[in-house]
Amino acid sequence: MPLLFDQNISFRVIREISAVFPGSKQVREVGLEGKRDLEIWKWAKENGFAIVFFDADFVNFSLLFNFPPKVIWLRLGNSSTKSIARYLIDRTEDIHSKDRIRILKDSRTSAVQNELTLNNIPSTTMQRPDFSIEEVNKIIRGRRSQFVAQFKENDPIDDSIIEEMLENANWAPTHKVTQPWRFIVYTAAGLKKFADYQAEMYKMRAEKNGTNFIEATYQKFKEQPLKASHVIAILMKRTENSGIPVMEEIAATAMAVQNIYLTACAHGLACYWGTGGPTFWGEAREDFGLEGEDMLMGFFYVAKPASDNWPEGKRESMAEKVGWVRE
Ligand SMILES: Cc1cc2nc3c(=O)[nH]c(=O)nc-3n(C[C@H](O)[C@H](O)[C@H](O)COP(=O)(O)O)c2cc1C
């Protein structure tokens, strides 16, 4: 991956690192000198560059907007061109890692600076958004599950709406910003691929484990996904050595799914989170790229609704589920 150096970093560094990061550029070379950070960000995204910089602005962009581009925050204090180059080359593996942000710092950075991790990236402030509590209450309390029987078949939802749902998922809270949620979206011919996969795995498991094979269940696995517009596999992926308890990563992923639910319902779509099929089948783990404590947490089915009827929600009173301590 070529690197795009911020204007505060000398262009001379490029010659030093070109063998390891070929095609790297300084913003001046691509006509971005003096341009706003956001323009530099967009250029890097469009041209497949990772941004290398000294100050924290681009880190904030990385959290506000989506990855890519990757951003590499050099926290080296005053350093010569040669030492920056050597530093980058020594950390080639780090830079090529899959993380969306790399913070590279050396031992000379102060104790205060060293405390800055992904968990407490200094954030710029912005004006408080003009939230509408009425709208929030309405969508949270009006969100409903609707199932395959309520789906309008063969009338796919625009992918851009699914992307909006996923973008909102990405804004769920997450301890140490590990962002453990991963999604695989099946749509169009992909639905049949998923349907056949789960049906055949059901059959294989019955043969292998000697469990009851029910033809109707097999058919259900083969047919249900085809009635949806999109089926989204929900995965929780652990970050190595994060020190975050697995419960917190499951919780964060569930919060991401709630955002998907709310966004889908705000579009008037029929949807539900299902934990059937391969969710708890150990044999499926490898196929979904899961290792260790990673988890397949189910499937989000979504489609346009067959009718304008919206299901009424059912809940017991909240008063029975809360205790207050006042003195
Ligand atoms: C973690 C989780 C797993 C679920 N799994 C299933 C499922 O396997 N099958 C199903 O029909 N509904 C499933 N649901 C959806 C519930 O049936 C639904 O949330 C419940 O009926 C309440 O309805 P509401 O979502 O409209 O408030 C699941 C929901 C959650 C949060």
Whether 151 and 108 share a structural domain: no
Whether 159 and 185 share a structural domain: yes
Longest Cα–Cα distance of the chain, Å, equals 71
Whether 103 and 193 share a structural domain: no
For ligand 1, say whether the CB of 65 is within 6 Å of any of its atoms. Answer: no
Task: Write down which residue in 64, 90, 120 finishes a domain.
Answer: 120
For ligand 1, say whether the CB of 250 is within 6 Å of any of its atoms. Answer: no
CATH number for 158: 3.40.109.10
Whether 236 and 270 share a structural domain: yes
Which atom of ligand 1 sits closest to the CA of residue 145? Answer: 26
Which atom of ligand 1 sits closest to the CA of residue 261? Answer: 25
For ligand 1, say whether the CB of 310 is within 6 Å of any of its atoms. Answer: no
Number of domains in the chain: 2
Under DSSP, is residue 73 helix (H, G, I), strand (E, B) or coil?
Answer: strand
Q: What is the DSSP letter of 151?
A: B
Segments of the chain with pLDDT less than 70: 56-57, 59-67, 77, 100, 105-124
Task: Write down which residue in 95, 120, 145 finishes a domain.
Answer: 120
Does any domain span residue 315? no
Tokens of 252: 């964060």
Alpha helices in the chain (DSSP H): 12-17, 37-47, 57-64, 81-90, 92-95, 111-114, 133-142, 159-169, 189-209, 215-223, 246-266
Closest residue by CA, ligand 1 atom 21: 145
For ligand 1, say whether the CB of 2 is within 6 Å of any of its atoms. Answer: no
Q: How far is CA 321 from CA 71, 198, 327, in A?
A: 45, 38, 19
Tokens of 209: 């484990």
User: From the CA of 144, how far away is ligand 1's center (Å)?
Assistant: 9
Under DSSP, is residue 305 helix (H, G, I), strand (E, B) or coil?
Answer: strand
For ligand 1, say whether the CB of 305 is within 6 Å of any of its atoms. Answer: no
Does any domain span residue 23? yes
Q: How far is CA 224 from CA 74, 218, 248, 268, 299, in A?
A: 50, 10, 31, 21, 12
Residue 191: give the domain boundaries: 133-303
Q: What is the rounded CA–CA span in Å between residue 275 and residue 106?
A: 46
Does any domain span residue 37? yes
Whether 113 and 154 share a structural domain: no
Q: What are phi and psi of 185, to 5 degrees?
A: -105, 125
Count of CB atoms situated within 10 Å of the CB of 37: 16
Whether 201 and 234 share a structural domain: yes
Does any domain span residue 177? yes
For ligand 1, say whether the CB of 313 is within 6 Å of any of its atoms. Answer: yes
Does any domain span residue 319? no
Whether 198 and 97 share a structural domain: no
For ligand 1, say whether the CB of 144 is within 6 Å of any of its atoms. Answer: yes
